[in-house]
Amino acid sequence: MRWHTNALARALALTSLGWSLALPARAAATEAPMARVIVAFKADAAAWRAQPLSATPRADARTLAQRRASALDPRAGVPLTAGRQVGARSMVVRATGLDSATLATRLAAHPDVAYAVPDQRRRALAVPNDPLFATGPADGSGPAVGQWYLRAPSGERPSAVHALGAWSLVSGSPSIVVAVLDTGVLPNHPDLAAAVLPGYDLVDDLDTGNDGDGRDADASDPGDWITLAEDGDRRGPFYQCGVADSSWHGTQVAGIIGATANDGVGMAGTAHGVRILPVRVLGKCGGYDSDILAGMRWAVGLPVDDLPPNPAPARVLNLSLGAPGLCNAAYRTTIDEIMAPPYNAVVVAAAGNSTGHMVGTPANCPGVIGVVGLRHSGSKVGFSDLGSAISIAAPGGNCVNIDPGSPCLYPILTTANRGTRGPEAAGSIWTDSTNITVGTSFATPIVAGVAALVLSARPELTPQELRTTLQRTARPFPTSGSDNGPDDPTPVPMCRVPDGSDQLQCYCSTALCGAGMIDAAAAVLDATQRVPLKVAASQLLDFAEAQFADYFPGAAVSGEAGPFVYRYYPSSDTYLGVAVQSDSELVLNGVYVLGGPFGTTPLFVGLLSDFITPRATSLAAPRAR
Ligand SMILES: [Ca+2]
Ligand SMILES: [Ca+2]
Ligand SMILES: [Ca+2]
């Protein structure tokens, strides 16, 4: 018990020393930026309880609003001007000299504040005006529900990812670059021209490349068709590759991620507003690991041979490619390197399309966000592979109607070209219900797009934090509501551990299809609300180490467990942690110590916000709570 008192006294001393919350500005300020923030007070906030605003005459209301705003000045570090009331206990505040994100972060740490978010300018239309978003092609050849996969989930389409909800919270940021490691991208497609960076072509082999040279600076897609003669030529490079028209695979993937929205043309990309970096690593009959690995390295800004450095390093790598087999050392090493600082890139990869077999490489590599494909109804789509290495699931496209000539109902509408061999100059198209896009290749860019939206909101997230965010906010898999069509009364089974035989549609479990069905809106909301607390927590941990070395001595091991961000000090067997992920207001924000002199149960020593005192009032007593 003595330790409890002592610890508390010590903890309170943190406050009296006047730790200043010096959060980094999110963007370099050139000249006096203007901040607009919506701040919501807690139900028991003294400043709000004093007088209900709606019951006062107009002039008094303005005075009262300004008094409430001014009560937050010490935490803001700048004088605040009251704006409009927004909700029952929320209002706009404005300030000059800092940006909205910085002000929101500071205000969110005030004990009276429930939340504080930047008051951002939005487009008038929450639903984009792209004609194919809502209904698909007018001639009836498209999915009847347009880009169904980006809408809010519904009873009929529970796997839809609710990008619409995410777009009301954040816009894709042009500073977030998503690399598409694929067959190249057609940069002149009207829905891609504004988003596509130059990129690079890393296909070394002349036959595979199909563009007359080896590696070159033109990452556009020359086509990857295979003729009957090539497929049958035993001595040729494409023997038994499979006869096919050009796939425009990279262009399709790029559209799902970044197709321009609200341009009145075509479709809307999941993370429209971000930039697409085409990294060409596939050509005729696929591509080699050596080019893919070099492409991954080049995409994040690592040096590759004598290639010019990438001027636009990517934070998200989309790999809608793979092959069966265990993750090998070459992939492990490369992925470790690109996920580590300063690159901090997240790799999103497709499970594979071999009909319910074990997820392949690179989706099964440690750290990678492997993606299973779902039907509209939330069950695993027949073609998708699965396994315990998978992180999350997203719509992969499915048809329901399987009779020849009948329209496919739930394909993943995206950008493509009419050309069957080379690209047709005036041949830009969007896929539809007869020229369909389905596969885990197209579930993957939906996840990559959601990752890019989350990073647009919180670019400081590590790849691990980003994956945790996507997983924590995923919706649970349904275990009923699917069928095998009117002609097949067989009930849909639960998915089983892949055993070498095919498994078609099945109900997912978290053991085999990842944490759940990805939810873009929930992920962005979570990232927006929780991370400022984590930033503040890490500053508290730094401060405690510097000021209380006798309690927290020597080198520490950082980690996260349950709701805690913590540091562990092996030399004293002591933990210092801050609860940042609980939904309970009692423990969210709480600072705890454990181990060493503090005993074996977590000891609550106060709220994080109690330890954060603005510089201007550094010697003030801590707030009574
Ligand atoms: Ca080339
Ligand atoms: Ca080229
Ligand atoms: Ca568009």
Q: What is the pLDDT of residue 490?
A: 93
Confidence of residue 291 (pLDDT cuts 50, 70, 90): very high
Measure the CA dihedral 200/205/206/207, to 10°: -120
Asked if 249 is an active-site residue, the reply is yes
| Report for 16-30, 136-150, 254-268, 400-414: range of highest mean pLDDT | 254-268
| Report for 75-84, 441-450, 483-492: range of highest mean pLDDT | 441-450
Task: Calculate the average pLDDT of the chain.
Answer: 85
Confidence of residue 25 (pLDDT cuts 50, 70, 90): very low
Q: What is the pLDDT of residue 278?
A: 98
Question: Which ligand sits nearest to residue 204's alpha carbon?
Answer: 1
* Residues paired with residue 371 on neighbouring β-strands, in sequence order: 350, 392
Quick one: tokens of 428? 């830009």
* Residues paired with residue 494 on neighbouring β-strands, in sequence order: 507
Worst-scoring range by mean pLDDT, 118-127, 269-278, 408-417? 118-127
Q: In sequence order, which residues have a C-beta less than 8 Å from that of residue 282 and are 6 or more positions away?
A: 181, 182, 183, 203, 208, 224, 249, 250, 321
State the CB neighbour count (10 A cutoff) for residue 311: 9
Question: Which ligand sits nearest to residue 250's alpha carbon?
Answer: 2
Task: Give residue-wise pLDDT tens across range 558-574.
Answer: 888 777 788 999 998 98
Rg of the chain taking only CA atoms, in angstroms: 27
Task: Give residue-wise pLDDT tens across range 300-337.
Answer: 999 998 899 999 999 999 999 998 899 999 999 999 99
For residue 206, the CA-to-ligand 1 centroid distance in Å is 7
Confidence of residue 488 (pLDDT cuts 50, 70, 90): confident
| Residues, beta carbon < 5 Å, ion ligand 1 | 201, 209, 211, 213, 216
For residue 221, the CA-to-ligand 1 centroid distance in Å is 10
Confidence of residue 16 (pLDDT cuts 50, 70, 90): very low
Confidence of residue 60 (pLDDT cuts 50, 70, 90): confident
Question: Which ligand sits nearest to residue 199's alpha carbon?
Answer: 2
| Residues, beta carbon < 5 Å, ion ligand 2 | 201, 211, 216, 218
pLDDT over 90 at 248, yes or no: yes
Confidence of residue 419 (pLDDT cuts 50, 70, 90): very high
Catalytic residue among 110, 189, 249, 272: 249
Catalytic residue among 246, 441, 456, 482: 441
Closest residue by Cα to residue 365 from 332, 392, 329: 332
Q: What is the pLDDT of residue 174?
A: 95
Residue corresponding to tokens 């049958």: 232
Distance linking the first and last C-alpha atoms of the chain:
22
pLDDT over 60 at 404, yes or no: yes
Confidence of residue 17 (pLDDT cuts 50, 70, 90): very low
Quick one: tokens of 267? 């479709």
For residue 261, the CA-to-ligand 3 centroid distance in Å is 4
Residue corresponding to tokens 């993750």: 327
Asked if 159 is an active-site residue, the reply is no
Closest residue by Cα to residue 251 from 192, 330, 166: 192
Quick one: tokens of 506? 């099945």
Confidence of residue 191 (pLDDT cuts 50, 70, 90): very high
Question: Which ligand sits nearest to residue 221's alpha carbon?
Answer: 2
Q: What is the pLDDT of residue 49?
A: 61
Range 140-156 average pLDDT: 86
The residue that leads in pLDDT, 50 or 488, is: 488
Range 387-407 average pLDDT: 92
Asked if 584 is an active-site residue, the reply is no
pTM of the model: 0.72
Q: What is the pLDDT of residue 615?
A: 31
State the CB neighbour count (10 A cutoff) for residue 92: 18
Q: What is the pLDDT of residue 62?
A: 79
The residue that leads in pLDDT, 581 or 596, is: 596
Measured CA to CA, the distance from residue 248 to residue 423 in angstroms comes to 9
Is residue 324 a contact partner of residue 354, using CB atoms and an 8 Å limit? yes
Measured CA to CA, the distance from residue 384 to residue 49 in angstroms comes to 55
Question: Which contacts (CB < 8 Å, 24+ apart) does range 2-7 have?
Answer: 3/597, 3/598, 3/599, 3/603, 4/603, 7/593, 7/597, 7/598, 7/603, 7/605
Quick one: tokens of 613? 């005192």
Q: Rounded to the nearest 10 degrees, what angle do helices 440-457 and 463-472 cross at?
A: 110
pLDDT over 80 at 440, yes or no: yes
pLDDT over 70 at 12, yes or no: no
- For 493, which DSSP code? P
Q: What is the pLDDT of residue 531?
A: 59
Range 239-266 average pLDDT: 96
Q: What is the pLDDT of residue 290?
A: 94
For residue 224, the CA-to-ligand 2 centroid distance in Å is 12
